[in-house]
Amino acid sequence: MLQQIIAITFIAIFIWRLNEQRRKKKIGNNEFIFWLVFWLLGIIAIILIRQIDRLVGMLGFSGSGINFLLYITVLILFYMVFKLRLAIAKMDANLTEIARKIALTEHTEK
């Protein structure tokens, strides 16, 4: 129970900081909603961990619900890293295209 209280306290701090970032307009509304839902789902998972344990056992998985949630979280993080890598590659291609256009423009002006 103490671990759950500590985890929920940390998530509450994250949500508070998230709200500050939105208020200062450092993140947009869509990003705010995404992270708010993410952290609220985390709180729900923490509160319902015993039910998740039972569900995981009924589905035939060995281990506890927290292990199952950890595996799911790692998969989600790998997916997010993959998406981030794609976004960076796209920005790199756009930057290269812009640099080429500037170079060609400067070359033709001389």
Give residue-wise pLDDT tens across range 34-55.
Answer: 999 999 999 998 899 888 888 8
| pLDDT tens-digit map of 77-109 | 999 999 999 999 999 999 999 999 999 988 887
Contact between residue 47 and residue 39 where contact means Cβ atoms under 8 Å apart: no
Local structure of residue 51 (DSSP, 8 states): H
Give the separation between CA 1 and CA 69, rounded to whole angstroms.
18
Model confidence, pTM? 0.65
> For the segment 4-35, what is each residue's pLDDT rounded down to a tens digit?
899 999 999 999 999 999 999 999 999 999 99
At 109 the pLDDT is 76
Residue 64 has pLDDT above 90, yes or no: no
| Element holding 15 (H helix, E strand) | helix 2-23
Angle at 83 between CA 77 and CA 86, to 5 degrees: 145
Q: Which SS3 state, helix, strand or coil, does residue 1 take?
A: coil
Phi, psi dihedrals of residue 48, rounded to the nearest 5° = -100, 25
